[in-house]
Structure 1
Amino acid sequence: MTGLRWGVIFVFYLSLVQSSIRKDQEYWKKLSTNELEEALAVKWNLGEAKNVILFIGDGMGPNTVTATRIHKGGEGHRLTYEKFPHIGLLKTYSANKMVPDSTSTATALLCGVKANFYTMGVDASVEHNNCSASLRPEARLESLAALALKAGKSAGFVTTMRVTHATPGPIYAHSASRLWECDSAMPRDSSCKDIGRQLVEDWPGRDLHVILGGGRQGLVAKAQDRPSDPVSAWGCNRSDGRDLITQYIKDKEERGLRHSVVSNTAELKNIDKNTDYLLGIFSNAHMPYEFQRIKDPHGPPSIVEMTEAAIKVLKKNKNGFFLMVEGGNIDMAHHRGRARTAVDESLAMEEAVSMAVNMTSEEDTLIVVTSDHTHTLSINGYPDRGSDIFGTTGPSKFDGLNYTTLTYGVGGPGSNKLKVQIADDQPRIVRTDPDTENTTSFMYEQASAILNDENVHGGGDVAIYARGPYAHLFHNVHEQHYVFHAISYAAKIGAFSKASTQYNNVYICLLTLLLGFMFRMIN
């Protein structure tokens, strides 16, 4: 009787297992069916992109996106922009480097031409540090923001970096060096103007409707040094006595333009609803990481709050707008080898994308999400599903120790996880056991294969996600500067503006008539 009972239990258990397997198969089939139905339902939006929002996650390569997805919702989760109907890949090399910097890649994205390493808003005829070459009008490039302004649209940018930094710079500046952010960084006897002055004094910078980010110390001489907002040795310190923020206010007052200048979250949230020009400088240097940000009315705003404020100002223009939003601290964290912080910054930018999606219509707003370059972040080993992406896996078959799921190819001093042990008077190099450290800390620096002064960029392709009018133009492996031209076409600006198209049509007609006349004369 006992044997019969156990036999019944075994059969029952076996039936449960088989049922579970069948259920599991049905789950995967349903998942793929849903995706197939979603793909079949996609229709091309052939309307005009009245508004364009370009999100640039600095250093947000594919592995950063994957880690962000897993951290937020697990392996099967999808981030907001991963639900966009159209996706492609971008080749990120610059004009003279296989692995680029952020200025050359931003120039490609925003100005439509591949540029040299460390140059901004100029073509590849300008070599790094060649001031005179950068002054040639034919070498200077127009950005998407400039084209939007010419089309009667509003334009602006949001960044968690200094407003004079590598990614926002090409929107308004032309410089032979990304380092020329303020006067003290310029070469002696230079005839070039620093990036900060170009933002406030020159077109299109002075006509941008929204400028939100950090970098006060490069705009104002003797910027106040406070414990919560220190002056950074890494950033440029203006020394010519200029106060470009006051100069900005004076310019707007003289032109009778409705403007607001803000310096904290409370002021940003309470700007006059009639504001047409908004300048917000919230820190001396780069803005703080999200996990370190002082989250009270007197602290700096988040990237989500800046994005919301920017769209509110820009969308008042009946002709539409162009907005660039940069999640720059993703890159800053990667450079320091802090994967947890980089992923947290990536999550913050995803929330900003969600805000933009909720505030606009897919019918008339093209939203593009991409990155300028990758980092050397890797996702390693065979961790179980559901494991902490910042945890450990392994062990290594060489030393028996686990290793972190996330590591870097090239890293800074903090990534040195090796130490020397002496046994029997013989030195032996051993690896630090990551299970003895808090690998989930925002400040933890993952191990890297090669030591350097800092973590370096990667040269891999980056993904580009799009929704809205002509989002289907992003559909395969593209050159990075293609983004500028695809957006221009979707928004009907620049070479694809209605005026240009009409002019080209007239030109073609006249040329056709002339050729026809010449043909008749010959015959």
Structure 2
Amino acid sequence: MYGLRLVVFFVFYLTLAQSSLRKDQEYWKQLSTNELEEALAVKWNLGEAKNVILFVGDGMGPNTVTATRILKGGEGHRLTYEKFPHIGLLKTYSANKMVPDSTSTATALFCGVKVNFYTMGVDASVEYKDCNASLKPEARLDSLAALALKAGKSAGFVTTMRVTHATPGPLYAHSASRLWECDSALPRDSACKDVGRQLVEDWPGRDLHVILGGGRQGLVANATDRPMDPISSWGCSRSDGRDLINQYKRDKEARGLKYSVITNAAELKNIDENSDYLLGIFSNAHMPYEFERNKEPQGPPSIVQMTEAAIKVLKKNKNGFFLMVEGGNIDMAHHRGRARTAVDESLAMEEAVSIAVNMTSEKDTLIVVTSDHTHTLSINGYPERGSDIFGTTGPSKYDGLNYTTLTYGVGGPGSNKLKVQTDPTRIVRTDPATEDTTSFMYEQAAAITNDENIHGGGDVAVYARGPHAHLFHNVHEQHYVFHAISYAAKIGVYSKATTQYNNISVCLLTLVLGFMFRIIN
């Protein structure tokens, strides 16, 4: 009986594989017909976005999305968000850089204006590291999370990075430097407050209903260094004696608020359903890559688990919610030149999008999926359809060796595949056949060697479904996302109260002008 099942499964798999590689006319015609029917069925949703979920795949440029699609289901597959009815492109330059960093782009997405490289939650009047300029009230920007709170909604964020890092930071902090995550990174005698303290002590950070991610060492002085959770030399370590997690608890207790503070996947799964505020800090530094994550109950949760828990907490508010979810390890892996890991992290975020789609209604929930910037990842050569996206193609007509389908424009030391031979006049390329190019740790070749792989400056895609998703429809400035979401959710300048006030003002002005015109005539 088992043998028969195995044969049936093999035949089914073979048939599926063959159908995915079909090339006949009917196959292509049917694909186009299906797409045309889908396009003709699209209707604009003109309702109000009670809820908004904004996914940011950090460093998830178009080639990362394509590689993720091929990995999951082949060239003809479509990821969850690629089935969304509306799509556009975002121009990612910052106020002073052609190629941006993550905090200037996150500020554009969340706060509605382009700002300077490495600055957070402040406008372009603030130069990098200009503390005094960042303290001016007129330079400080309100984020989508702040506007949601003002509108009576719940708000929060999920990240696989430190909760004080470049992307989540602009939701609640105002800083002249993204590096000022904790007190140790601030200039001596600085009048500015570090990002961690702003999260716990200042509004809107202290009123965010969900905060899930890593970064314990920046929140708690003398954080414990454990084998599975070491202190990171890359992250800021708090040295002022403060324990901001305990401070968070004291604040919620003083205000009589129902809250939960958790540290692992088991606690996340079993949070008190009465909790209106949720703080989960799961690692000292950034959270581990998905392939390295300890999947035992005492280990850190996945981005899927965090997204699910966040929505459960936030959706209790009858007025709705705003949630930002960052797949930050996509960027971390790209910076290290590890395309396999980056694409795997992109796949994990896609699964989180699927969870959000299943837990919400398209009728009242606007889901937007985008990226902050690209990386220099390229898809090269002429590999056969159905080939391993992490495999090789070629050979090169220059040196006769194959090369990886995925490469980078600029990479770290491990991306230098050129080897000087015994004869110093000869330099040859490492044959990828001698390496495991499918390894999570493999670093693809790059044209230029640097200390690390750096960002790209290309446009990124934005995918949307739900109320007013059609506002994403062509090539947009990146900060347009803030305004489109504000309009869809009726928050900020587009709130009902503001709109009514403006309408009344226009009517009164019209009456006054009409009266004056009659007097003059």
Pick the TM interval, shorter chain.
Answer: over 0.9
Deviations 1:14-70 (A, max 9, x none): xxxxxxx99810111011000000000000000100000000000000000000000
Q: Find the aligned partners of 1:521 and 1:93 in 2 and give their Cα distance.
A: 52
Q: Tell me the residue number matched to 2:10.
A: none
Deviation string 1:403-443 (CA, Å, 9 cap, x unpaired) is 000000000001010111124xx531100000110000000
- Corresponding residue number in structure 1 for 2:252: 252
Offset at 1:514?
Answer: 1.7
Counterpart secondary structure, 1:378: strand
Gaps of at least 5 residues in structure 1 are 1-20
Question: Alignment partner of 1:132: what SS?
Answer: helix
Q: Cα distance, 1:511 vs. partner?
A: 1.1
Which residue of the partner structure matches residue 10 of structure 1? none
For residue 429 of structure 1, the aligned residue among 404, 427, 431 is: 427
Give the partner amino acid of 2:471. L
2:113 is matched with which residue?
113
Matches within 5 A, 1:436-475: 436-475=434-473
Q: Distance in 1 between matches of 2:512 and 2:450?
A: 64
Question: How far apart are residue 283 of structure 1 and its match?
Answer: 0.2
- 1:499 to 2:472 alignment: no
What amino acid maps onto 1:501 in structure 2?
Answer: T
Query: After superposition, where does 1:122-521 map in structure 2 within 5 Å?
Result: 122-423=122-423, 427-521=425-519
CA distance in 2, matches of 1:458, 1:22: 35
Equivalent-residue separation in structure 1 for 2:218 and 2:358 (angstroms): 34
Match runs of 1:3-152 below 5 Å? 24-152=24-152
Q: Distance in 1 between matches of 2:284 and 2:422?
A: 47
Report the secondary structure of 2:421's partner residue.
strand
Q: For 1:295-347, what per-residue CA distance to the aligned partner results, in whole angstroms no more than 9, with x for missing partners?
A: 01000000000000000000000000000000000000000000000000000
Give the match for residue 12 of structure 2.
none
Partners in 2 of 1:337 and 1:514 — Cα distance?
Answer: 65
> For 1:257-284, what per-residue CA distance to the aligned partner results, in whole angstroms no more than 9, with x for missing partners?
0000000000000000001000000000
CA–CA separation in structure 2 for the residues paired with 1:198 and 1:23: 57
Q: Which residue does 2:18 correspond to in 1? A: none
Write the distance in 2 (CA, Å) between the matches of 1:496 and 1:207.
22
Gap change, CA 1:151 and 1:387, over 3 Å in 2: same
Once the two structures are superposed, residues 438-493 of structure 1 have per-residue CA deviations (whole angstroms, 9 ceiling, x without a partner) of 00000000000000000000000000000000000000000000000000000000
Query: What is the number of equivalent residue pairs in this alignment?
Result: 501
Amino acid at match of 2:229: D
- Deviation of the 1:516 alpha carbon: 1.6
Letter of the aligned partner of 1:212 in structure 2? L
- When residues 22 and 252 of structure 1 are mapped into structure 2, their CA distance, relative to the original with a 3 A threshold, is closer
Task: Calculate the aligned-residue CA RMSD, in Å.
Answer: 1.0
Secondary structure, in 3 states, of the residue corresponding to 2:25? Answer: helix
**Counterpart-to-counterpart distance in 2, 1:84 and 1:198:** 36
CA distance in 1, matches of 2:464, 2:138: 32
Q: AA paired with 1:441? A: S
Q: CA deviation at 1:515?
A: 1.3
Taking the aligned partners of 2:246 and 2:502, their CA distance within structure 1 comes to 43
SS in structure 1 at match of 2:306: helix
Deviation at 1:521, TM superposition (A): 2.6
Q: Secondary structure at the match of 1:291?
A: coil
Q: Relative to structure 1, is the Cα distance of residues 186 and 23 closer, same or farther in structure 2, using a 3 angstrom cutoff?
A: closer
Report runs of 4+ in structure 1 exceeding 3 Å deviation: none
What's the CA shift string for 1:117-167, capped at 9, x where partnerless? 000001000000000100111110000000000000000000000000000
Percent pairwise identity: 88
Deviations 1:226-260 (A, max 9, x none): 01000000000000000000000000000000000
Aligned counterparts of 1:148 and 1:73: Cα–Cα separation in 2 = 37
TM superposition shift of 1:510: 1.3
Structure 1 CA distance, aligned partners of 2:180 and 2:43?
46
511-520 or 69-78: which moved more? Answer: 511-520
Letter of the structure 1 residue corresponding to residue 258 of structure 2: R
Letter of the 2:187 counterpart: P
- Partners of 1:515 and 1:124 in 2: how far apart? 37
CA distance in 1, matches of 2:484, 2:215: 31
Q: Structure 1: which amino acid aligns with 2:73?
A: G
Q: Which residue of 2 aligns with 1:13?
A: none
**Deviation of the 1:512 alpha carbon:** 1.1
CA distance in 2, matches of 1:206, 1:22: 55
Deviation at residue 357 of structure 1 after TM alignment: 0.3
Distance 2:174 2:384 in 1: 49
Shift of 1:517: 2.2
For residues 365-404 of structure 1, the C-alpha deviation after alignment (integer angstroms, 9 at most, x for no partner) is: 0000000000000000000000000000000001000000
Partner Cα distance (1:231, 1:23) in 2: 53
Give TM-score, length-normalised by structure 1.
Answer: 0.95
AA partner of residue 493 (structure 2): A
Unaligned runs of 5+ in 2: 1-20
Q: TM-score, normalised by structure 2?
A: 0.95
**1:189: how far off?**
1.2
Q: Distance in 2 between matches of 1:269 and 1:275?
A: 13
Q: Which string of whole-angstrom CA distances, capped at 9 and with x for unpartnered residues, describes residues 56-110 of structure 1?
A: 0000000000000001100000000000000000000000000000000000000
